[in-house]
Amino acid sequence: MDSKFSEAIGLRETWPTEPQLEEAMSMAGCYKWAAAFFDAAETLLLASEMVVGSSFYQGPVIQNVGLATELSLKALLRGAGKTNEELKRAGHNCYRLYCESRICFDESRFLSQHLANTSHIPISDEIRERVAKNNPTWDAEHIDLRWRNYFDHLRLLDLTYDRPFRSRYVEPGDVILPDAEVIMIGTKLFLAAMKERL
């Protein structure tokens, strides 16, 4: 029987399918590990509002948002029967993991829920101007929708969280950072749906 979140994102009825692997953590263990990193990322994100300077956001916050997202998507894939070896091949690329995990849920339902839950997040004037300059045919509503798109933020996350690991190792130069809250809301939807089934 489906519950609120798993139904809202269209989590497949066959999820979870746990492979019988002696060396692997249980599905519930994968979920708990992902949820623990989500809690850490959420705590750091809230704390970042009180810390002056961008290095706290760019380093510890983004690193933990990446970990929480990676582990959540890998837990979702473990529930689809993927082995540890298969999950390791994806590395730390959250966008790739998201693409692979679409077999577990109805993407249009997930994105609809994600957009509904991110409608309160404003887009800064600086970003709005940059996007409008590069996409002159987009109106303000389209820019807002694109800015709150989950997988676009995963691509931005991968620029810092995945190779060359800029959220861990300091490198000079400009970097475009994702909105951590946009990512966290999507990740929380996945975690809530998984929790209902475990």
Q: What is the mean pLDDT of each run of 10 residues along the chain (198 residues)?
A: 82 83 73 95 90 78 93 95 88 95 97 96 90 92 92 91 70 81 98 95
What pLDDT score does 1 carry?
Answer: 42
What is the Cα–Cα distance from 115 to 148, expressed in whole angstroms? 7
What is the Cα–Cα distance from 153 to 44, expressed in whole angstroms? 18
Q: Any residues with CB less than 8 A from the CB of 175 and at least 6 apart, and which?
A: 58, 159, 160, 166
pTM: 0.89
What pLDDT score does 23 carry?
Answer: 57
* Closest among 13, 20, 8 to 197, alpha carbons compared: 13
